[in-house]
Amino acid sequence: SQQGEEDPQALSIQEGENATMNCSYKTSINNLQWYRQNSGRGLVHLILIRSNEREKHSGRLRVTLDTSKKSSSLLITASRAADTASYFCATDVYGQNFVFGPGTRLSVLP
C-alpha cells in the first residue's frame, strides 16, 4: 500500500467554496510536500512542511501537519475554476526519496 494516500480520491465543489484534501502516511517523515498537476502537465510544487511545523500558509493555501496522527491536510480557500487539478502529497520515507500518493482530483465548478 502507499506510504501516503490522499482522501478523498475525487472532490467536486462550487467556485468560491473551500476545498479540503487529506493525506495519511505510515512511517515517520522529515518533510511532506504538496503538489498540483493540471491535466496533461507536470507537477507543480505548492508547499513543503517540515516535521517540526504544524501549519504553513501560501496565498489561498493552508497546510497542516499532525505527526501524531500521521496526517496532513491541504485547504484551498475561495476556490476558482483554475484550481481544477489533481493534488498530490509526497512524503519522504526516513528522509530518503519522496513517495507520491495517488492524488485527489479536484473539480471546481463555475
Partner 1 sequence: DAGVIQSPRHEVTEMGQEVTLRCKPISGHNSLFWYRQTMMRGLELLIYFNNNVPIDDSGMPEDRFSAKMPNASFSTLKIQPSEPRDSAVYFCASSLAGGTSYEQYFGPGTRLTVT
Residues that bind partner 1 (CB under 8 A): 2, 30-31, 33, 35, 41-45, 48, 50, 88, 92, 95-103
CB of 73 to partner 1, least distance (A): 19
Which is nearer to partner 1, 13 or 51 (by Cβ)? 51
Which is nearer to partner 1, 64 or 98 (by Cβ)? 98
Sign of the torsion angle spanned by Cα atoms 54, 74, 22, 24 = negative
DSSP string, 69-102: TTEEEEEE-S--GGG-EEEEEEEESTTSSEEE--
Which is nearer to partner 1, 18 or 27 (by Cβ)? 27
CB of 81 to partner 1, least distance (A): 22
Which is nearer to partner 1, 18 or 28 (by Cβ)? 28
Beta strand 61-66 with 71-76: parallel, antiparallel or unpaired?
Answer: antiparallel
**Taking a C-beta distance cutoff of 8 angstroms, is the pair 103, 37 a contact?**
yes
The number of CA neighbours under 13 Å toward the Cβ of 34 is: 28
CB of 15 to partner 1, least distance (A): 27
